[in-house]
Amino acid sequence: MSFPWFRSVALLVASFCGVSALWGGDWQVDTPAPGIHILRNDVGAWGGWSMGVAHLNGPEYHARKALDLTQLPAEVRAGAKDVRLRLFMGIQDYSWNSGDRVPNGLNEAFEIVVDGQPMRFRTNDPRFLAKPGRAGKLEAGWTDIDIPREVLAKDTLQVVVRKVAGETSDDYVYPGIDNSVPNTHSSVSFDGGKTWGNKQLNTIKAQGEYMIRLVVATRALQRQMTWTPQTLDDPDGVAAYCQLEDGSLRLEPTPGVRDMARDVTITVLHDGPEPSLEWLLREKAKAPFARVPGKALVYRLSPCRKAADALLIKAGEGTTLRQVKIQYEANTTPHMVPPDLRPDIRPPAGKRRPVQTVVRRQPDGTVLLDNGAVRAVFRVSPKLELLSLHAAEIDRDILARPAASHLFRLKVGERVLGCRDATVEKLEVTEDGFAATLKPTDLPSMRVLFRASLAADELDLGCTVRCVGPEPIRFHLSFPHLAGLQLGPDAADDHYLFPWGGGVIGKGNTSLRTAYGENTAWWQMIDLFNPTHGGGIYLRANDPTGLYKAPHLRKGQEVRADFILDKTGSAYLLPEMQWATALDSEPGASVCFDYLRRDRQPGQEFAAPSARLGTHAGDWRQAMRRYADWSRKTWPPRPFPSRLSTRWNTIPAGWGWQGVLVGKDGKYRTDYIKPHYDMPELMSWWSWSDKGP
């Protein structure tokens, strides 16, 4: 058995083009391309199949969203040519999980109600991503549905998604939920629309906003490509490859140019016998065509969400192709640009000075920390705040939005607070930094001890949460919390290395969260670098104990659902122990380490492992070398050769093993010892016990 994630492979996160946005309170109007306007109040951070969807399987369960049309500019409303409702959702038939009953497939219906007018769809409608049975992958994605332009005359557009009553109710419709934003315009009903509530958006108390948007096009979306043996008229670049091969035409489409949830019409002019057509899919299947009645050779491809490989127009003996015309509708969302895992790195824009510790209380009361590589300025009265953070190699203050960085972030009940939500009660400036005692507003039983100091060429940060009152405290902590970071003039060019598998390398908007202490984060460091400025920064948890933590990276305000990863909380970990939304939707990059919920009695404290922030030239490699050196020093390798050198272990015995090590007779179990290894390696402890090691 092989485990491909054991290999040091760079897992890709594709780039996602930035878009301009007009802000309107909690609403935005994006313009991803000329003439395309998208009204939304979610940021695309889909929460997954539990907390990230409403699980509609019966007619009583309704999901509702109210869109504020007053946020659309008047010229957009007046110039609208097409209006579409955009929904993020998935569908599956769950009858295969109903005991001995024969699965019945996708055979039910649902409605999308727009301002009281229902539009009915079958659950097997090819425009929507759907899983028809046990086999296959359950997927969710965006689908655009045409609605009348007249809806723009109103100030509010109300949308309801609901199932239609039928003989069965085993087809599930899953409207998506963005859990990272507050709920201001979404509500749910569990009694068929008689009553509505917004305290939760599904039956397991998910919060956020339903992922329902409005798309307004002020230009025509109907597009055309025309091929002749002499010319190719392809203004949108829908054809990545289009050539005659032995008299037949092979066209390989460019991903993301056309709307795959809409029809494609293909008209062929030819001499001689009719050619045949095939639309090949990447999974080696073929998409079905329909011949349009008439004298001309016209085919129509119905909506097909599966990735296409090629259109083949096969010319038989005596057939000559004269013209091929393809009519389609343009995609209204930016398509993926493959990431460059090894971008050209320019020489560093700046240069380090020799390491020298400088700690200075400045005339304006701020504290300066400078070691020649990192220069940080903190406000220390009456609140604590990081005002600037300069990285030597890129010669830039990377704190583009100081207000976005909270240094630490706490969640106490439903309240979220950071460094600006506490008063500096005590300050001590030392020869290498400072320590501040903070008193959070309206939390008299809590104190936060924050420390910043210079450690050689790194900035060392510490945070301790202490219970000082008569009652215990319960909290989540994310530390350090650095947000609104921008390493170069264009945030879109900022790259990252994130710990998942062999490493995620990319520059696209993303939200990534893994667990150091499970099998998803193999190191406790995040790196950011900018190729044009020739350097970057890293944030490392300086933790020799290996305490459970969740490295967390977010880049950009809007994130595509397929660029969101949260691989935390497997097996016995209770969901309420985690806090997954400490990083807000912000321009630029944001990083933190999330710690599990803590309870502290009076006089007790939780000291989070310290964190080191450093700078480097080049891409992520220097940061990883630095981490590897620290790791080898912290956990020295086993001597080689050793007693284990000649032992073979083909399959880890404890992988995914749900059991205990000691049997009922009080003796260690041996039933997992098999002939194909002579040294059992027990692992995946998080799946053995509800208490951990």
Is the separation of the CB atoms in 97 and 229 below 8 Å?
no
Over residues 277-321, the pLDDT tens digits come to 988 888 778 888 888 998 889 999 989 888 888 999 999 889 999
Q: So what's the pLDDT on residue 375?
A: 98
**454 has pLDDT over 80:** yes
Which H helix or E strand runs over 64?
A: strand 62-68
Continuous segment of H or E residues that includes residue 78: helix 74-78
Number of domains forming the structure of the chain: 4
Query: Are 421 and 536 contained in the same domain?
Result: yes
Which pLDDT score, from 0 to 100, does residue 12 have? 40
Q: Is residue 335 part of a domain?
A: no
Q: Provide the pLDDT for residue 6.
A: 28
Same domain, 577 and 434: yes
Q: For position 257, which CATH number holds?
A: 2.60.40
* Domain co-membership, 213 together with 238: no
User: Is the same domain home to 513 and 565?
Assistant: yes
Task: Name the residue range of residue 97's domain.
Answer: 15-217
Residues 90 and 57: their CA atoms lie apart, in Å, by 12
User: Which pLDDT score is estimated for 441?
Assistant: 95
Q: Please tell me the predicted confidence (pLDDT) of residue 366.
A: 97
Sequence-ordered list of residues with C-beta below 8 angstroms from that of 466, at least 6 positions apart, any chain: 446, 447, 448, 449, 600, 604, 605
Strands 422-429 and 433-440: antiparallel
pTM for this model (two decimals): 0.79
For residue 533 the two structure tokens come to: 């400025």
Model pLDDT for residues 236-256, shown as the tens digit of each residue = 999 999 999 988 999 999 988
pLDDT tens figures, 589-622: 999 999 999 999 999 999 999 999 999 999 999 9
Last residue of a domain, one of 217, 249, 281: 217
**pLDDT average, residue stretch 73-88:** 96
Regarding whether 70 and 186 lie in a shared domain, the answer is yes
Is the confidence at residue 222, as pLDDT, over 60? yes
Least confident of 22-26, 92-96, 305-309, 643-647: 22-26
Q: Residue 543 above 80 pLDDT?
A: yes
* Domain identity same for 160 and 282: no
**90-99, 558-567, 633-642, range with the lowest pLDDT:** 558-567
Residue 400, beta-bridge partner list: none
Chain segment 141-194, per-residue pLDDT in tens: 999 999 999 999 999 999 999 999 999 999 999 999 998 888 999 999 999 999
Average the pLDDT over 48-67 and give the result. Answer: 95
Q: Which two tokens stand for residue 620?
A: 């992520």
Residue 3 lies in a domain: no
Residue 10 belongs to a domain: no
647 and 573 within one domain = no
- 304 shares its domain with 365: no
The reply to whether 405 and 318 lie within a common domain is: no
- Look up residue 119 and give its two tokens: 């539009």
**Integer Cα distance of 446 and 638 in angstroms:** 43
Is 520 part of a structural domain of the chain?
Answer: yes
pLDDT at res. 437: 98
Q: Are residues 582 and 464 in the same domain?
A: yes
Q: Does 472 have pLDDT greater than 90?
A: yes
Rounded CA separation 57/594 (Å): 35
